[in-house]
Amino acid sequence: QVVAVYGTLSDLLSVASSKLGIKATSVYNGKGGLIDDIALIRDDDVLFVCEGEPFIDPQTDSKPPEGLLGSHTDWLTLNVGGRYFTTTRSTLVNKEPDSMLAHMFKDKGVWGNKQDHRGAFLIDRSPEYFEPILNYLRHGQLIVNDGINLLGVLEEARFFGIDSLIEHLEVAIKNSQPPEDHSPISRKEFVRFLLATPTKSELRCQGLNFSGADLSRLDLRYINFKMANLSRCNLAHANLCCANLERADLSGSVLDCANLQGVKMLCSNAEGASLKLCNFEDPSGLKANLEGANLKGVDMEGSQMTGINLRVATLKNAKLKNCNLRGATLAGTDLENCDLSGCDLQEANLRGSNVKGAIFEEMLTPLHMSQSVR
């Protein structure tokens, strides 16, 4: 075909593609020299275009001459996952001589017959992620097109052993991550979240930061607050029925008059919190579990805690005046210096508990020493 040569090399490739019905990617002169600038074309040149395969002189042979793929011109073609890349052996070897990719192309005979019908070296990897690696080996810059997953490029760089590129990619991935937001969740944000969630859906708020938030009088039933930060929160009159507060931080919070029926507070930290007039008593028999909780200095005066599990909890210096602890499990509980005056401890299990300095004046039920308190 006779093709007019004008404009840029890209213009020439576009016209040749249209004329010849192929996707032209490379232009060679009659001697097999790769042309990368249209200014290198002379008026009497006969040009050959191809889709990326190595140059074959049609006047001499229909097959690539022995050793043409790299030994004479240093140019070679890779078939990476079905996509062709034309480059030089020195590009693949020189920048990262200790990489797996360099070892693959240092010796001519290492590939054997692992070439396709065009003579391109077959590599069963993703072409999308290989392209940034090849460009990096060409000019030393990490350039990744929009929409390319950096993690995919990183995996390919690790596969081919391009160590210096791995460092660039790890930095780029770290910089692309949004900064972590550790600011507390406000009441407004949480209420919006509650309203947008179906009532039958399980709300999982594990590890979230609600520090200092006003969550008073909200319906928080069955919500999973495991390991959440609820320190200094206002939870007065909130409905926390069957909520999971395991290992949550409730230090300094106000839970006065809250509904805590069936609540799970295993190993939670409620040191210095106020739980006055709270209701832990579930008529259906579901018992609140505060086993191992840190309740130092809490004020639980007047709370209903029938059947509550406070085994091995720490209640040192707590105010439990006029609490209903009937049938409560207090085995191994630290009640040192607690004010238990006016409490109902009928059928409570105090085995092994520490009641040193505790006040039991005006108890509704006498404390039986047979319960092995210490």
Number of structural domains (the chain) is 2
Q: Which domain holds residue 43?
A: 7-48
Is the per-residue pLDDT at 71 higher than 50? Answer: no
Q: Do 106 and 170 lie in a common domain?
A: yes
Give yes or no: residues 83 and 150 share one domain.
yes
**Inter-residue contact 121 to 76 (CB < 8 Å):** yes
Separation CA 58–CA 314 (nearest Å): 91
Between these two residues, 26 and 60, which has the higher pLDDT value? 26
Q: Do 23 and 115 lie in a common domain?
A: no
Domain end position, chosen among 116, 145, 174: 174
Domain-embedded: residue 112: yes
Residue 268 lies in a domain: no
How far is it, in rounded angstroms, from Cα 151 to Cα 170? Answer: 9
> Are residues 233 and 249 in contact, defined by beta-carbon separation less than 8 angstroms?
no
CB 143 within 8 A of CB 135: yes
Q: Within this chain, do residues 14 and 96 fall inside the same structural domain, yes or no?
A: no
Q: Which residue, of 132, 159, 174, is where some domain finishes? A: 174
- Which of 174, 207, 227 is the C-terminal boundary of a domain? 174
What CA–CA distance (Å, rounded) separates 247 from 229? 9
Q: How far apart are CA 144 and CA 148, in angstroms?
A: 7
Alpha helix stretches (DSSP H) within the chain: 9-20, 89-94, 100-106, 127-139, 150-160, 163-176, 187-195
| pLDDT class of 264 with cuts at 50, 70, 90 | very high
Residue 230 lies in a domain: no
Cα separation of 190 and 178, whole Å?
22
Give dist(CA 212, CA 162) in Å, integer.
49
Decide if pLDDT at 110 tops 70. no
Model confidence pLDDT, tens digit, residues 180-227:
656 788 899 899 888 888 766 678 899 999 999 999 999 999 999 999
| Secondary structure (3-state) at 88 | strand
Q: What is the pLDDT of residue 64?
A: 43
Q: What is the CATH number of the domain that holds 86?
A: 3.30.710.10
241 in a structural domain: no
CA distance linking residue 176 with residue 152, whole number of Å = 14
Are 20 and 85 found together in one domain?
no
